[in-house]
Amino acid sequence: MATAAAHRTAGAPAYGAPHADPDGDARQRAFDAAVAADERVEPRDWMPDAYRATLVRQIAQHAHSEIIGMQPEANWITRAPSLRRKAILMAKVQDEAGHGLYLYSAAETLGVSRDELLDKLHSGRQKYSSIFNYPTLTWADVGAIGWLVDGAAITNQVPLCRCSYGPYARAMVRVCKEESFHQRQGYELLLALSRGTPEQHAMAQDAVDRWWWPSLMMFGPPDDASQHSAQSMAWKIKRHSNDELRQRFVDICVPQAESLGLTLPDPDLKWNEEHGRHDFGAIDWTEFWDVLKGNGPCNEQRLTQRRRAHDEGAWVREAAAAHAAKHAAKHTGKHTGPTGVEQA
């Protein structure tokens, strides 16, 4: 944060520690001024507790979505129809793991640990995106996820590159570049199917029919039911409302669907000349809230698989910690045993 750096705390209290701060009002004013001036808030800067909590909530949910999002597509790695498709899909799923890593690291700068966040995911105390509670029934779903789900993600995440919190904004730059590749591979996959045999075309259409509406739900509830939007926009964490981004996504998708030779499953979708945008049909918000409550087709399966992967990966974490301890000991002259525990 360059000019309004008055709120930066030299020798700041430990992250997350209460700010016993006689100059609290001055810091709050300096924080507000910095945000108003479009400056970045950095980890060591003073920030309101509620700002910190909102960021942890959103970044954690975002990170969880990335790693849970690996599951529906990984489901098709062994059944990809060619070596080329398999290599692309494996790279994409690995990218999602990387996105989770950047995002958990960004959250850690706010004073929470990755273990704590994963624990909240596994116990259902933190959410992940509703979209990943739907099944991938055919190979075409890999294309529909790339085109629609990654397309929605880019629409939502490009503005997050200008988020007021520096580490989150910077993580988003790389994530968006990779999402852009993901979106294009999905589009290209669907195009190949759409131009293929009648059966392949039908499979592509069926996938788009099933993923269209859940993709629109990814942007969150309508603005009048979005409890966090107003405050998050005032803090410049979010730059646009849920409905604005949803509308932008619909307007982008309509011409792309035409080029793909596929139909978006909405009879009310039509160009509105007066407003210069597409009108679209009503979203089933009952379904959305139901999925958030844990009642989507795959909620249970996703969390069970995530917990299992975490348990089965325990030895990898232990081995990595032991290796790190051994490496550190080499530099400090201390000795560790095979478990990485320091030996007398």
Binding site for ligand BYC (CB under 6 A): 57-58, 61-62, 65-66, 69, 96, 127, 129-130, 149-150, 153, 156, 217-221, 226-229, 232, 238, 242, 292
Q: How far is the CB of 119 from ligand BYC (least distance, A)?
A: 16
Q: By beta-carbon distance, which residue lies closest to ligand BYC?
A: 69
Nearer to ligand BYC, 58 or 136 (CB): 58
- By beta-carbon proximity to ligand BYC, the closer residue of 143 and 221 is 221
When the beta carbons of 231 and 272 are compared against ligand BYC, the nearer one is: 231
CB of 155 to ligand BYC, least distance (A): 10
- Closest-CA residue to 90 (of 79, 103, 80, 77): 77
Q: How far is the CB of 300 from ligand BYC (least distance, A)?
A: 16
| Angstrom distance (rounded) from CA 40 to CA 166 | 5
Name, in order, each residue with C-beta under 8 angstroms of 76's C-beta and a sequence gap of 6 or more.
Answer: 89, 136, 139, 141, 142
Name the residue nearer to ligand BYC (CB basis): 205 or 242. Answer: 242
CB of 221 to ligand BYC, least distance (A): 5
Distances (CA, A) of 234 to 42, 221, 229, 245, 320: 17, 18, 8, 17, 41
Sort strands 270-272 and 277-279 into parallel, antiparallel or unpaired: antiparallel
Q: How far is the CB of 145 from ligand BYC (least distance, A)?
A: 6
Write the DSSP assignment of 51-69 as a string of letters. HHHHHHHHHHHHHHHHHHT
Cβ proximity to ligand BYC, 150 vs 266, nearer residue: 150
Quick one: 138 or 226, whose CB is closer to ligand BYC? 226
Alpha-helical regions (H) of the chain: 24-36, 49-68, 70-74, 83-108, 114-122, 140-144, 150-157, 166-194, 198-217, 229-234, 242-260, 285-290, 299-312, 314-332
Smallest gap from Cβ 173 to ligand BYC, in A, equals 14
